[in-house]
Amino acid sequence: MLEEIGRFVLAASIAWILFVSIDLFWKLPQKGGVSGADAIGSAIAARGGDLNGGWMMGNIVSSPDASAGTLLAACGVFVAGIPGGIAAAILVYIGNRICHDKGYAGTSGALIATFVIAGFMQTGFFASDFIAGMVLAILTIQGLSHTRASRFIGYIWRWRA
C-alpha cells in the first residue's frame, strides 16, 4: 500500500513537471488561447492572481493542452500501450482543432507523455499510477488556491523568459 502511494506521488511530480514544462515551452500562458482561458485568467487576475498563470489555468480547463494530453496519454497507454498513447495524441489534436487551438502543447504533451510513461513502466510503474498522478497534478494547479497557483505559475513563466 505504501509503495503504491509513493508511485502515485512520484508519478504526480513527473506529470506536473512534464505538463508545466511543455506548456511553458510552447509559451501557453503568454496569452489566453481560447475565449474560456481569457475569461478564467481575467477572473483570477481580478482576485489578485497572476494573469499569465490564470491563462495557463484557463487553458487547462478550456482546451486540450499538455495536462489533458498527459492524462489522455496515460489512459491510452493503460488501455493499449504505446499505440493507445499515440491514439490519444491524435484525439487531442482533433480536440484542439475543434477548439480552434493550435494544439502544439496538447499533442506534443500526449506524445512525450506516452513515451515517458512507457519508459517508467519498465521500472515498475503502472500506467494507472500516471492516471492517478495526473489527476493529483491537475488538482494542485486547479483545486487548492487559484490565486496562489497562478502566482507560482506566473513566477515560473517569467523565470523562463
Residue range 13-37: average pLDDT? Answer: 79
Largest CA distance in the chain: 46
- pLDDT tens digits, one per residue of 94-149: 988 887 776 688 899 999 999 999 999 999 999 999 999 999 998 888 878 889 98
Query: pTM of the entire structure?
Result: 0.86
Helix 146-160 to helix 35-46 angle (10° resolution) is: 110
* Grid coordinates given for 131: 492516471
- pLDDT tens digits, one per residue of 59-99: 777 767 788 889 999 999 999 999 999 999 999 999 888 87
Question: Measuring CA to CA, how many Å separate 54 from each of 7, 50, 138?
Answer: 29, 6, 14
**What are the boundaries of each domain within the chain?**
2-160
130 closest CA partner among 80, 71, 87, 81: 71
Q: Any idea what DSSP says for residue 93? A: H
* Grid coordinates given for 160: 523562463
Do residues 130 and 74 touch, judged by C-beta distance below 8 A?
yes
